Chains A and B, each alone.
Chain A
Amino acid sequence: MHEHSVAQITRGLREHLFSSVELTTALLARIDDLDSRYNSFVTVDADAALAQARAADALLAAGDAPPLTGVPIAHKDIFCTRGMRTSCASRMLDNFVPPYDASVVQRLRDAGTVTIGKTNMDEFAMGSSNETSLYGAARNPWDTDRVPGGSSGGSAAAVAARLVPAATGTDTGGSIRQPAAFCGITGLKPTYGRVSRLGMIAFASSLDQGGPIARSAEDCALLLGAMAGHDPRDSTSSERPVDDYLVALEDSLKGLRIGLPREYFGDGLDAATGAAVMAAIRLLEDCGASLVDISLPTSELTVPAYYVIAPAEASTNLARFDGVRYGYRCKDPQNLYDLYTRTREEGFGDEVKTRILIGTYALSAGYYDAYYKKAQQVRRLIAEDFSRCFDSVDVIAGPTTPGPAFALGAKSDDPVSMYLEDVYTLAANLAGLPALSVPAGLTGGCPVGLQLIGRHFDEARLLNVGHQYQCVSDWHLRAPEALTGGQP
């Protein structure tokens, strides 16, 4: 049952082939059995999940149930869940139980999903390997000595290990797409403003975007349909109507123009990864798409621009964690200064502190123009680069990451090489564009991701291309060896 996709589950439940309670029970048992290997969950609430599953079964029996009724999912531990601890994998929020649901959580509840629990992540979503989590690193189901990617590493590992059919993630610089690529699954970062950020604990407000992580583009379409839409409580959420993502899945790729940015296939790209990605792109060509050579000359500026803007916003977003109202508070503060400094020193991990310091520096008087303002100018150039390219192509394709998942600990002492992991994913965040990663092969037994970047609010097209690719390939159906007894 754990192999079922979201689409299969919704059909199976409606045809009463199995119940939500049966499915939920099976998945909970599986998490119990297997997750000590992956450390993908930080909180599992079996009682609450089963209660929701029972309610879902009652609704399904009565008919007229919302589309995702009874589908068990997990939420990244950055989304606030009413009555369930929401930690951001940080000591700072280790004891924090929100009295409210994030909009994404609420919408998915309204659509009928069953919340199994909360998934591991890099602390406050700052990291590309899940190693900065307070609760220890999540592990890659394809090779538990390797990272699952980050920051939504727990969600990706849980979906890849067939512990849940789908999970939510957030993507500030690649945090959905990179772990999806590393774990051989499908992840979508929607257009900035497509999914409400309310109740999603902020890392970098102008870049953060929640999205689905699942095993196929079709499943991502099902989830996104429920997650997307205007939220009057998030001023940056778009009022644009939500497309019917499912209908668009079946569109033909004939006439589709796919742009291949030369900068995405140059130095720094692992040869086998590049070859797998090119093979996937050829397959799209076989489906009727045409390939166009394009250039994104600002590509080399994305890492520096991102690593000024994201820490700058983070440095002030994380100022509210001061030990005054909720979360961690140091023992026996002697005075206000002591309360602030020890609470934050003890409550935040090293990577978070590094970024707060970088961001504070970049916004300081005398440095603002040279760093933050310059980075915002660069950001505008990057966005212009893309809009120019989208005059002549419909979708941009390339690798999601420079190579497959790396070994645990391999980059944890080298922040710059860690930051370079995000070289292909950051641009979509800086330009606010939607981007999808789909599994496109294996190298050395580890998955490779194909990234598709679309125009603003063109999620339907990305999911369509991803789905059509998955109709002619089977990478997305492969499970890690450990789960299949050596038969990938």
Chain B
Amino acid sequence: MAWETVIGLEVHLQLATRSKIFSGSPTAFGAEPNTQASAVDLAMPGMLPVLNAQVVHYAVKFGLGIGAEIAKRSVFDRKNYFYPDLPKGYQISQFDAPIVGRGDFEITLADGSTRSIGITRAHLEEDAGKSLHEDFHGMSGIDLNRAGTPLLEIVSEPDIRNAEEAVAYLKALHSLVTYLDISDGNMAEGSMRCDINLSLRPHGSEELGTRTEIKNVNSFRFVEKAIQCEFERQAEILEEGGRIVQETRLYDPERNETRPMRSKEVANDYRYFPEPDLLPVVIDEAFISAVQAELPELPGAKRLRFTEQYGLSTYDAGVLADDRRLADYFEQVTARCGDAKIAANWVQVELLGLLNRSDTSIASSPVSAEHLGDLIARILDESISGKIAKQVFEAMWQGEGSADEIIAAKGLKQVSDSGALEAMVAEIIASHPEQVQQYRDADEGRRKKLLGFFVGQIMKLSKGQANPQVVNSLLTKHLE
């Protein structure tokens, strides 16, 4: 039977606040265990939560970014369960009255088509700490540095139909939240974690099948693989006439399989009720307008502008607009050199090539946008050829200075002076009589090919600095 996959995603996004959601402790990643946990985070007796206003600001920013309804009054609830890394014995979350309501989110697929994915809600909550099971001689260690880190849980409608869409959705979400500057989106550090709800149904059926939930998948690639595995597992059961058990599962990347979590890891009744230590969050129209006013141009709008303003292809505009810093970089390069298409090409091919190979982010690129812009300007004013430019770019990457400094230091300036070039042309013609004869005997088509040989010889002789256009015309003249 042909099965349709129905997927809904819950994304836990760590908000990039300096302090925690309910205490003043710092949120920096990677500190020594339990050095970033205050009396509030440790749930010492008598301690009380105080809401970090920045968290509300970020949640509203997200809501406006997807055009969602913003709740004027939202309420925190306690979600009760016992676990050693949950110090209070309950997590403060939002259940009945989340801060962000229904919204829609557009994603672009590889073939350029777009789809709209519904966002059911997004709510604020605190993260738990970490249980460390190694190095404690059969006991467990608890690190509460992460306890109380602010999270925005973004819940999608079951609108996603396959792994490609799921990954496109996550990438678009990643792009959006980094644009909004509300999260660093760093998946390796757990800033964006994903739960996958997945069920199958026969094609054409309207009814939803029984779903399973795959918890805590933390990379795009694992999301793709987990969906594939779980699809195959469920399809096999259904094909054999079996039934899917509604349960929580884990994806194991090493074995590339999903398996059920132990039942004890799954609490059944969280006994949600309104958190009496916190007042409802009440926001007004003025606050919402102020946040609206500070929204940056979002990825979709920027992509469109790049095609219209700079004449870029949809694909190029997509690559460049996807990352806010990359887009800004590209626009700075363009402003500096005046040619968007060449700038786009250099940023995508040379710069991204090196950044990816060296696993460096655009923010810490060793080549500044100004330097790259100036380099392209030297190509455009024919000071150097494109080929020499690549050599200069490599030197810039090594930190050897600006384009002009490197060109001067290495003597790479293009030779366009016909006197100097004429001598080289004469030398090459004199030293290759056989090829000269071939050229003279050849027809128009073959001549072009042979001309390439002479150009190559002159470029070699000039160490690449000869202006190819000047060389071309000189050669044509002298070979006649």
Which residues of B lie under 8 Å from residue A102 when comparing CB positions? 46
What does the 1/0 interface line of B48-82 toward A look like (CB < 8 Å)? 11110000000000000000000000000010101
Which residues of A lie under 8 Å from residue B87 when comparing CB positions? 320, 324-325
Please measure, in the bound complex, the distance between the C-alpha atom of A100 and the C-alpha atom of B45, giving whole angstroms: 10
Which residues of A lie under 8 Å from residue B39 when comparing CB positions? 99-100
Query: Is A365 in contact with B43, judged by CB distance below 8 angstroms?
Result: no
**Residue in B43, B78, B82 whose CB lies within 8 Å of A325:** B43
Q: Does A25 contact B (CB under 8 A)?
A: no
**Residue in B43, B84, B90 whose CB lies within 8 Å of A336:** B84
Please judge, given known A-B contacts A319-B88, A324-B142, A363-B271, whether A80 and B48 are in contact too, CB under 8 Å.
Answer: no
Please measure, in the bound complex, the distance between the C-alpha atom of A391 and the C-alpha atom of B279, giving whole angstroms: 27
Please judge, given known A-B contacts A313-B276, A325-B43, whether A363 and B50 are in contact too, CB under 8 Å.
Answer: no
Please measure, in the bound complex, the distance between the C-alpha atom of A206 and the C-alpha atom of B48, giving whole angstroms: 12
Which residues of B lie under 8 Å from residue A368 when comparing CB positions? 271, 273
Please measure, in the bound complex, the distance between the C-alpha atom of A232 and the C-alpha atom of B49, giving whole angstroms: 10
Which residues of A lie under 8 Å from residue B273 when comparing CB positions? 312, 316, 363, 368, 372
Which residues of A lie under 8 Å from residue B277 when comparing CB positions? 202, 205, 235-236
Please measure, in the bound complex, the distance between the C-alpha atom of A274 and the C-alpha atom of B272, giving whole angstroms: 43
Interface residue tally on A, bucketed by range = 35 or more
Please measure, in the bound complex, the distance between the C-alpha atom of A102 and the C-alpha atom of B46, giving whole angstroms: 8
Nearest Cβ on chain A to B151's Cβ, whole angstroms: 19
Which residues of B lie under 8 Å from residue A326 when comparing CB positions? 44-45
Which residues of B lie under 8 Å from residue A86 when comparing CB positions? 45
Q: Does B89 contact A (CB under 8 A)?
A: yes
Stretch at the interface among A108-116, A132-140, A192-200, A457-465: A192-200
Nearest Cβ on chain A to B297's Cβ, whole angstroms: 36
Instruction: Identify which of residues 308-334 in chain A touch chain B, using a CB-to-CB cut-off of 8 Å.
Output: 312-313, 315-316, 319-320, 322, 324-326
Please judge, given known A-B contacts A324-B84, A360-B271, whether A80 and B45 are in contact too, CB under 8 Å.
Answer: yes
Q: Does B134 contact A (CB under 8 A)?
A: no
Nearest Cβ on chain B to A236's Cβ, whole angstroms: 7
Which residues of A lie under 8 Å from residue B49 when comparing CB positions? 235
Query: Is A80 in contact with B279, judged by CB distance below 8 angstroms?
Result: no
Query: Is B276 in contact with A205, judged by CB distance below 8 angstroms?
Result: yes
Please measure, in the bound complex, the distance between the C-alpha atom of A335 and the C-alpha atom of B142, giving whole angstroms: 15
**Residue in A96, A234, A365 whose CB lies within 8 Å of B45:** A96
Q: Does A98 contact B (CB under 8 A)?
A: yes
Please measure, in the bound complex, the distance between the C-alpha atom of A100 and the C-alpha atom of B87, giving whole angstroms: 18
**Residue in B43, B50, B51 whose CB lies within 8 Å of A320:** B43
Which residues of B lie under 8 Å from residue A365 when comparing CB positions? 269, 271
Nearest Cβ on chain A to B178's Cβ, whole angstroms: 31
Nearest Cβ on chain B to A317's Cβ, whole angstroms: 9
Query: Is A316 in contact with B78, judged by CB distance below 8 angstroms?
Result: yes
Q: Does A390 contact B (CB under 8 A)?
A: no
Please measure, in the bound complex, the distance between the C-alpha atom of A154 and the C-alpha atom of B243, giving whole angstroms: 62
Q: Which residue of A lies closest to B37 (CB)?
A: A325
Nearest Cβ on chain A to B156's Cβ, whole angstroms: 25
Please measure, in the bound complex, the distance between the C-alpha atom of A316 and the C-alpha atom of B91, giving whole angstroms: 10
Q: Does B288 contact A (CB under 8 A)?
A: no
Please measure, in the bound complex, the distance between the C-alpha atom of A93 and the C-alpha atom of B44, giving whole angstroms: 11
Q: Does A201 contact B (CB under 8 A)?
A: yes
Nearest Cβ on chain B to A230's Cβ, whole angstroms: 12
Please measure, in the bound complex, the distance between the C-alpha atom of A395 and the C-alpha atom of B278, giving whole angstroms: 30
Q: Does A282 contact B (CB under 8 A)?
A: no
**Residue in B42, B44, B47, B90 whose CB lies within 8 Å of A316:** B90
Central interface residue in B42, B88, B271, B277, by most chain A CB within 10 Å: B271
Nearest Cβ on chain A to B23's Cβ, whole angstroms: 10
Please judge, given known A-B contacts A319-B82, A324-B84, whether A199 and B89 are in contact too, CB under 8 Å.
Answer: no
Query: Is A98 in contact with B80, judged by CB distance below 8 angstroms?
Result: no
Q: Does A364 contact B (CB under 8 A)?
A: yes
Instruction: Identify which of residues 258-279 in chain A touch chain B, using a CB-to-CB cut-off of 8 Å.
Output: none
Q: B residues bordering A, Cβ < 8 Å?
A: 39, 42-51, 78, 80, 82, 84, 87-90, 140, 142, 264, 269, 271-273, 276-279
Known contacts A96-B45, A326-B44, A360-B271; 12 further A-B pairs (Cβ under 8 A): A98-B44, A197-B48, A235-B49, A235-B50, A235-B51, A235-B279, A316-B271, A319-B80, A319-B82, A320-B88, A324-B142, A363-B80
Query: Please, could you name 13 A-B residue pairs with CB atoms under 8 Å apart, sorted by A?
Result: A80-B45, A88-B45, A197-B48, A198-B48, A234-B48, A235-B277, A312-B273, A316-B89, A320-B45, A320-B88, A320-B89, A322-B89, A365-B269
